[in-house]
Structure 1
Amino acid sequence: MLSNIDQNERGRILLSIARRSIADALQIDTAGNVAFVDTMAQWLAEPGATFITLTQQQRLRGCIGSLQAHQSLLENVRRNAVAAALHDNRFSPVTVREFASIDIEASLLSALEPLTFVNEKGASSQLRPGIDGVILTWGVHRSTFLPQVWDSLPQTHEFLVQLKLKAGLDADFWDDAICLSRYTVQKWRETDFKEEINNG
């Protein structure tokens, strides 16, 4: 159970940890440029699962995350931030020169909720656009979309089709052994805090 710390403050802290972790991995001196945070805070030692998403000029630059809490929130954010910057095999590693132009988003996942259904239509009807992150599993095939993906795939049928394609399955594939789980996220973006500062 995470502490009652203000949600915005929690987001600022997680984003600061993510940025500092990437800077450390790139051996960049961030003194005076990244806010100090108390990494010994109790809530950061509690289990947590996160996704760290990097964008550059509003285009995806890296995204790595965990679907279940298997380590402390602090360690999970640190590892996923560095992995998103340097080890997302869809992109070349973020460079020192790019560091300042990268925007970071942190998503904190809820516990997974398995869905029960009898067919694809039934599965699709249970999805909540704009709310649910979804995991699809069939044998060795597995994929997930964060709730943010609904912004570009607002229809449940197309969302599910693209989730199957991401898992390496055909768009029209269906099997009774397909498993779906959903989750929600709390998310924070550096750009939101910059806008608050600029408008304040």
Structure 2
Amino acid sequence: MLDDVVLSLAKTTLLHHFSKKEDLDKDGLLKQYPQLAQKRASFVTLYKNGNLRGCIGSIIAHRTLYDDIVSNTLMSAFRDSRFSPLQEDELSELSLEVSVLSVPEELEYSSYEELLKMITPHKDGLILEHDHYHGTFLPQVWQQLPKTEDFLEHLSFKAGANPSIYTQNPKILKYRVDAKEARFDEISLL
């Protein structure tokens, strides 16, 4: 289970960015919280008054969880192309969510109907890969798209394709997340 340290790391990262303070004591934090030293993938999502304000993440683990959360926090706040860069006066209106992903598992299937049976709604995040098409939905997307067929249809759109891509049996991977969310002002600092 995730420790609240992942939220504290995201909050402290934002505050350090705005205050231009020295970097965090990474070595000390890695000793104190060994889970941050593990090679893990994460997503950091920012909500402003309940509405999406930024979301960037990694699907495949390629660095420590500490580095992934710090990078994805800054990218979500300042580099998500759907939004203008976060301003310091918005912090009090934010909620942060940090999702740590399991290792994705490829699904072996021979038909769309078989694929539907292999997916657990509200639990599985999915990755679609086929030629130059790539997209993912975190399990949290099930809240907006509770039917598996709708989830897959919108995943194909996100990947830049359309639902007919499933007739070609694209590569589908599933993963789970351990997510923590809290209002910005309720998150403790590191």
Give the TM-score normalised by structure 2.
0.87
Indicate which of 127, 133, 138 corresponds to 2:125. Answer: 133
1:185 aligns with 2:186: no
Partners of 1:19 and 1:40 in 2: how far apart? 17
Q: Deviations over 1:136-194 (max 9, x none)?
A: 01111100000011111110000000000001112333343510000001110014995
Partners of 1:122 and 1:177 in 2: how far apart? 11
Residue number in structure 2 paired with 1:16:
8
Indicate which of 53, 62, 84 corresponds to 2:76. Answer: 84
Q: What residue identity is the alignment partner of 1:89?
A: S
Q: Deviations over 1:5-64 (max 9, x none)?
A: xx36x1x211011111122223367xxxxxxxx513322111111100110111111000
Deviation at 1:115, TM superposition (A): 0.1
Q: What residue identity is the alignment partner of 1:40?
A: L
Give the TM-score normalised by structure 1.
0.83
Partners of 1:159 and 1:19 in 2: how far apart? 31
Indicate which of 110, 123, 134 corresponds to 1:142. Answer: 134
1:39 aligns with 2:21: no
Higher helix content, 1 or 2 = 2
Residue number in structure 2 paired with 1:68:
60
Structure 1 runs of 4+ off > 3 angstroms? 191-194
Q: Secondary structure at the match of 1:91?
A: coil
Q: Is the 8 A contact 2:92 2:184 kept in 1?
A: no
Q: Is the 8 A contact 1:61 1:91 kept in 2?
A: yes
Partners of 1:144 and 1:65 in 2: how far apart? 10
Q: Deviations over 1:83-115 (max 9, x none)?
A: 000011111111111122111001011111100
Structure 1: unaligned runs, 5 residues or longer: 1-6, 30-37, 195-200
Partners of 2:133 and 2:164 in 1: how far apart? 15
Partners of 2:74 and 2:133 in 1: how far apart? 25
Q: Is the 8 A contact 2:127 2:172 kept in 1?
A: yes
Question: What's the Cα RMSD here?
Answer: 2.0
| Greater RCO, 1 or 2 (C-alpha within 8 Å, sep 6+) | 2
Residue number in structure 2 paired with 1:152:
144
Indicate which of 52, 55, 68 corresponds to 2:47. Answer: 55
Residue number in structure 2 paired with 1:169:
161
Deviation at 1:68, TM superposition (A): 1.3
Q: Is the 8 A contact 1:125 1:156 kept in 2?
A: no
